[in-house]
Structure 1
């Protein structure tokens, strides 16, 4: 991957990348209404991972956007959201899985889903499926009713919408182009991303 190169994650698949502190990750919805499940691990200690519970707790709200910090399970900043042109994401539901496709979609033999695709992308770092946490579900639109019921609705993202995240520590990051039909209006599409390296900005 060359500096600033835009990489396409094909539909229903995943990709992982290493970031240094200060690097900026831009996740892009090229066609609109497509979710990307994103998770991260501290590169220096893979027992430290992105935590939805810590992040929501410290932000005091469910829906995080520009200016919010995404924290690890050890309450350390992992990402800062620098830009967000969509403004609606989910940080509560787990990545779709083989079992979810069987239980909720009635598939006789479920697909790997984002959980399996994240685990496959993270395998070179020794992260197994059982260690994939709740992801930051970029562009995912989850509505919460007054009685506590939830509904997964089509994403609000338009073609070209993006989220820019600054890494606050050295990270291993994995992303998907989500496989769950409810999350993308049953129009499975790709996700794009690029990494803007801090060292390149300082050299310029």
Structure 2
């Protein structure tokens, strides 16, 4: 399930559980991603409207930030090393930019007792279809509220329930005109075994 949203500024939009949405965000506008009930991950992609081959890059962002834990004042870079988004406010402080969006393969390979689901990858692809974004072009998303601690000695990581509580949010400012795709994550491990909505608001 997905929605292509004609987002009205200053209006809170709802993404139902295990679904996604896509919308435009203009340079200078802010996007607030809200966890209304707590404990729910939202996968976020940003794509340059001027050339949709330019999109969010985990590798370049983490390289330039020199940390895997991104929060207020960090910038999210594109595959061309341009700033797409800046985090301007964050009430949680723990998000993930390492793990790829969950997909049909995730459910097939990682979950023995879960019914098949196209996951966030499928929801992102469906939401971005009006802009002609190919499925294989979808990169690692910025996983708002996802809690992936990494052991400093071994490098092993765990996917634990989000630290976000009801009403927590992360706010971004767009550095250029963007297409945004956003999901309410579908993976049980990422969300503590339950699925809840994600809210968002565009302002400016």
TM bucket normalised to smaller: over 0.9
Structure 2 runs not aligned, ≥5 long: 1-6
Cα distance, 1:109 vs structure 2:
6.2
Offset at 1:31?
0.2
Q: Give the alignment partner of residue 102 of structure 1, picking from 80, 83, 108.
A: 108
Give 1:186's aligned residue: 193
Matched, 1:81 2:79: no
Runs of 4+ in structure 1 deviating by more than 3 angstroms, as ranges, are none
Shift in Å at residue 3 of structure 1? 2.0
Equivalent position to 1:144, from 144, 150, 160: 150
Q: CA deviation at 1:131?
A: 1.0
* 1:42-70 Cα deviation digits (max 9, x unpaired): 00100100001111000000010000000
Confirm or deny that 1:55 pairs with 2:61.
Answer: yes
TM-score, length-scaled by structure 1 = 0.94
**How far apart, CA to CA, are the structure 2 residues paired with 1:138 and 1:172?**
17
Q: How far does residue 187 in structure 1 lie from its aligned partner after superposition?
A: 1.1
Determine the structure 2 residue equivalent to 1:174.
Answer: 181
Q: Which residue of 1 aligns with 2:33?
A: 27
Separation of aligned partners in 2, 1:93 and 1:3: 31
Q: Distance in 2 between matches of 1:20 and 1:3?
A: 11
Q: Unpaired runs of 5+ in structure 1?
A: 198-204
Structure 1 vs Structure 2 CA RMSD = 1.0
Counterpart Cα distance in 2 of 1:32 and 1:103: 27
1:156-186 CA-partner distances (Å, limit 9, x unpaired) = 0000000000000100000000000001001
TM-score under structure 2 length normalisation:
0.94
How far the C-alpha of 1:110 sits from its partner, in A, is: 2.4
1:114 to 120, 125, 129: 120
Verify the 8 A CA contact 1:139 1:155 in the aligned structure 2: yes
